[in-house]
């Protein structure tokens, strides 16, 4: 059994920062369960282009409002609490955050831990 809180992840190598986002990686490949689980926060008034060619990602938006842009299929979707999207075709996409976004993300296969920097 694994029991872990985002509080204990803060400030460790499981908290990863990007230009517009912070990812608290609650479960990673070294936990040995076949998927990873992250809490990701995106800063307001930002646009974040993303692409995961090696992963399937499911995202559930918990807080905030914004827009998801599917750059491969030229479609946009409203993001609001309760919205889920699944990147099952490795779509290139962008997240446009109107407010702070907080989302739970599941990746398969599991994302490996970051190497020591």
User: Is residue 104 helix, strand or coil?
Assistant: strand
User: Is residue 9 helix, strand or coil?
Assistant: helix
CATH number at residue 22: 2.60.120.10
Residue 117 pLDDT more than 50?
no
Residue 92 pLDDT more than 60?
yes
Is 87 within the bounds of a domain? Answer: yes
The pTM for the full model equals: 0.91
Distance CA(67)–CA(106), nearest Å, equals: 19
Q: How far is residue 100 from each of residues 3, 72, 110, 113, measured CA to CA in Å?
A: 27, 25, 26, 26
- Residue pLDDT, tens place only, 61-80: 999 999 999 999 999 999 99
- Residue pLDDT, tens place only, 4-43: 999 999 999 999 999 999 999 999 999 999 999 999 999 9
> 73 lies in which domain range?
16-108
pLDDT at 114: 80
Percent over 70 (pLDDT), the chain: 97
Is 10 within the bounds of a domain? Answer: no
């Amino acid at each position: 059994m694994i029991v872990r809180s985002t509080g204990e992840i803060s400030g460790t190598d499981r908290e990863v920062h990007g230009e517009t986002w912070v990812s608290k990686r609650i479960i990673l490949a070294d936990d040995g369960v076949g998927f990873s689980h992250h809490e990701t926060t995106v800063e307001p008034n930002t646009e974040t282009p993303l692409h995961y060619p090696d992963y399937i990602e499911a995202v559930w938006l918990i807080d905030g409002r914004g827009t998801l842009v599917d750059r491969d299929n030229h479609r946009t979707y409203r993001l609001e609490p309760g919205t889920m999207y699944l990147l099952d075709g490795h779509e290139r996409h962008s997240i446009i955050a109107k407010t702070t976004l907080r989302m739970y993300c599941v990746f398969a296969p599991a994302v490996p831990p970051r190497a020591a920097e």
